[in-house]
Amino acid sequence: MRDFYGTALPGGLMLGTAQYPSPAILADAFRRSGASVATVSLRRESGQDRAGQDFWRLISDLGVRVLPNTAGCHTVKEAVTTAHMAREVFDTPWIKLEVIGDADTLQPDVFGLVEAARILTADGFQVFPYTTEDLVVADRLLDAGCEVLMPWGAPIGSGLGLNNIFGLRALRAHFPDVPLVIDAGLGLPSQAAHAMELGFDAVLLNTAVAAAGDPAAMAEAFALAIRAGQLAAHADPMEPRDMAAPSTPLLGKAFLG
């Protein structure tokens, strides 16, 4: 189990809190999944009716670590400002940093991401950057003060899984001591298991669970898949080979004349 800024997170599953059919289903999904982190987006409160307080009370009752995010931010200034507001509201130095560069794919603006990460780290934040699998960008983010990297598997909400296995495998090999979280694009538990088999430390999900016909059951399925992938990774799996190899030895086999 790897530490995230000094905090050990059991289970390897982080869950988003958007798009669930009801608060009760959201709470049930967290209970059945055993997720240790809830990602939340900052929403402005109404001074008159304090809108959002019921949601915040629900999240607090889950008993998990809160990871605010800067979802929807397209500039460095917007992301930094949102992060500061989130720290005041949620009382945590953790921030999932998103600086979106493309409206269709929601691909990160990696140039703005590195700049924002440097600013926020200097301001005392513990930054979880939503990034690509690019090795050079990863190196720049670590130089900027990030201690965790969150590469996408595929575009947010697409359910396409792990689009660039080579790139993700290279990222894991290049940064063996850095906590790595697959963030975005997973649609099936099997894809999460694959991520863990590749040696990643956690996955972050939202749409795959919240949009399922039975979100709580899907959340539990992801938790089981992640555990299976972790066990497989630690079990020293066999290497693939091109030719068949019999699993039953020929020694002692009876030959009929």
Given the residues 87, 96, 172, 194, the one annotated as active site: 96
Lowest model confidence (mean pLDDT) among 52-61, 190-199, 210-219: 52-61
Q: Distance from CA of residue 140 to its chain's centroid?
A: 20
pLDDT at 241: 84
pLDDT at 131: 97
pLDDT at 242: 84
Radius of gyration of the chain (CA): 20
Token code pair at residue 119: 């600013």
User: For the residues 234-248, what does the mean pLDDT come to?
Assistant: 83
Domains along the sequence of the chain with CATH: 10-235 (3.20.20.70)
Q: Is 77 a known active-site residue?
A: no
For residue 49, what pLDDT band results from cuts at 50, 70 and 90? very low
pLDDT at 42: 76
Token code pair at residue 136: 């050079």
CA distance 94 to 144: 15
Which residue positions form the known binding site for 1-deoxy-D-xylulose 5-phosphate? 157, 184-185, 206-207
CA distance 147 to 48: 40
Distances 65 to 5, 17, 228 between C-alpha atoms, Å: 13, 13, 23
pLDDT at 45: 41
For the purposes of burial, counting CB atoms within 10 Å of the CB of 234, is it exposed (0-12), middle (13-18) or buried (19 or more)? exposed
CB 13 within 8 A of CB 33: yes
pLDDT at 251: 65
Which residue positions form the known binding site? 157, 184-185, 206-207
Q: Please give the residue that has the higher pLDDT: either 224 or 42.
A: 224
- Checking if the pLDDT of 142 tops 70, the result is yes
